[in-house]
A and B are shown apart, each in its own frame.
Chain A
């Protein structure tokens, strides 16, 4: 395709992505190095018969004028990045010098909001991704073993947890594990503790969030593996049978190698999706126990105060995190396709 034709075909899409993805990234970067203006304060001397007193008042007009002139706020460089709510350099330095061991250091570190959110996000991603892929794989094997006419309905049911709105799916689960809900009652009777509440316990909350994550992302792995199982090369499978491979060996040497590229693809998609975990924390009302990077930004943005600069700094750090997570994939893609593509 000629450059000019390509340009016109691609223009609408490029414009949308440029205006609403590329520019916002710039906007986030800008906001993260500017802090809102403080109010302009003026000292006024009031003199009366009793003498003069100095009072300070907020000069509303001047404040407005200043905000008008520099809507971005005042330039503060990297200081938002290093403050307590983000990378917390000074707090970490203090911790490093006072902590009497690696565990106290880590405890202190994870009490800092950014590091806590980072830890939860990474734990969630690293736990949910492999487990949901594994669960999906076993479900695919099981569905593949039932008679063909039963598979349609089974696929239908299996797709539901994935297709459901994340916020809604998490809410449904949340209501069920409520102390007064059916799963909550079950957990209480299993634990033999009638006062046990998921909402009150940090480890249980983390566990529930991850259970939700696995529940909602396993169907994707299931579908991909199921489709993969339908395309296993029959010739290779049959020659393996004739060559004397046992059932297990056929799985090991034919089916698994066939499914392996699918696993890489899925892991990539799932890591991207899980890294942005957000809605379940809203649904579970779990922010006291667990915060993810996305939720951290959301809570800064919401509410009356709208801490735009703080949210922007966290966003920049999150985007960097995404790039780091993706870098092996990007490098590999570049190596395989980038050079070959003419």
Chain B
């Protein structure tokens, strides 16, 4: 177990920048999620920590020791790969045992440790099978077992759930969360799925084009997105963003008029979450319905405002038809204001 420190970490390929001067401290035992769309540098960051990519600049410290020049095998880490990286010629048992074997851990301990790891992930009945004879979820668990069979300083997980179907993903997510609670090993987890990030993380790092957008607990990121990118990436549905102009504390855009904002005059981007708004006559937004979706516990009404679509949560029973005008109550207190050009958060 150890903390990890990234100092000024950069990765460039020729003129292309994969990761830009990243500074990050991950405390001992923390579950940190790197979140972002594909190509944002999250996987590259993890691979640099693992030693599978060389850092162009900056330092990586694991447990206070600089590991930049160490081979992956000498960094005392374990990693779960997106496609699991199971050894097809070895049985499940041999797969799990492999890290012990190549690290010259005394032979006598192998069996116990393999069995314990296999039990943790409920694989004991498949130990003699080859990976090809396993289902996707079972393979994923073999990869997990292979990671936990040792006691590494750090777990790295690269989108470990992305090849599973939706139902299995939920249960495996819970299993990973539980595993971390038990082992308390520092874990870095890469995903593009914001729900995984929200449910698993102690802290989330949102990245985009190689740069960190925001670091914070899931709640902080959800409640106070640092910019329009984070706002539009987190939440389901994502935060509504409307471009308009503030004059004397009143935000105005086609179909929209929200008073009571504390902001200087000028163009801004206004954001609010669908679930914070409500249908109400004489509300701040008045526009015809673009589409209606039943979600189960509620409905989602979408209206078109200028060029953008805005979602508003409606009661389950609400039966609006397309084209019918509706009004929504969007008070100033649920609104987030962002700079119109840079997208950075304006209000405190």
List A residues at the B interface (Cβ < 8 Å): 2, 342
Contacts and interface: CB of A to CB of B under 8 A. Distances in A.
Contacts of A342: 13-14, 16
Interface residues of B, number: 4
B54 interface: yes
Q: Is the interface of A mostly helix, strand, loop or mixed?
A: loop
Interface in B13-35: 13-14, 16
Interface of B: 13-14, 16, 54
Contacts of A2: 54
B70 to A, nearest CB: 12
A95 B16 CA distance: 59
4 contacts: A2-B54, A342-B13, A342-B14, A342-B16
Nearest to B14: A342
Contacts of B16: 342
A111 to B, nearest CB: 54
A342 B14 CA distance: 7
A178 to B, nearest CB: 54
Contacts of B54: 2
A2 B55 CA distance: 12
Nearest to B71: A2
Contacts of B14: 342
A2 B51 CA distance: 11
A342 B16 CA distance: 9
A2 B54 CA distance: 8
Nearest to A2: B54
Contacts of B13: 342
A114 to B, nearest CB: 45
A2 B71 CA distance: 10
B167 to A, nearest CB: 27
A337 to B, nearest CB: 14
A6 to B, nearest CB: 13
A251 B40 CA distance: 42
B47 to A, nearest CB: 13
Nearest to A342: B13
Nearest to B12: A342
A3 to B, nearest CB: 10
Nearest to B16: A342
A338 to B, nearest CB: 12
A342 B53 CA distance: 13
B15 to A, nearest CB: 10
B60 to A, nearest CB: 16
A129 B290 CA distance: 61
A52 to B, nearest CB: 82
A9 to B, nearest CB: 15
A306 to B, nearest CB: 50
B330 to A, nearest CB: 45
B71 to A, nearest CB: 9
B73 to A, nearest CB: 13
A102 B228 CA distance: 75
A342 B13 CA distance: 6
Query: 4 closest A-B pairs (Cβ-Cβ)?
Result: A342-B13, A342-B14, A342-B16, A2-B54
B58 to A, nearest CB: 18
Nearest to A5: B71
Nearest to B18: A342
A248 to B, nearest CB: 41
A150 to B, nearest CB: 31
B246 to A, nearest CB: 45
A159 to B, nearest CB: 30
Nearest to B13: A342
A318 B14 CA distance: 37
A2 B13 CA distance: 14
A2 B68 CA distance: 13
A240 to B, nearest CB: 31
Nearest to A339: B14
A340 to B, nearest CB: 11
A122 B54 CA distance: 49
A342 B54 CA distance: 14
B287 to A, nearest CB: 38
A278 B347 CA distance: 81
A2 B53 CA distance: 9
A253 B16 CA distance: 38
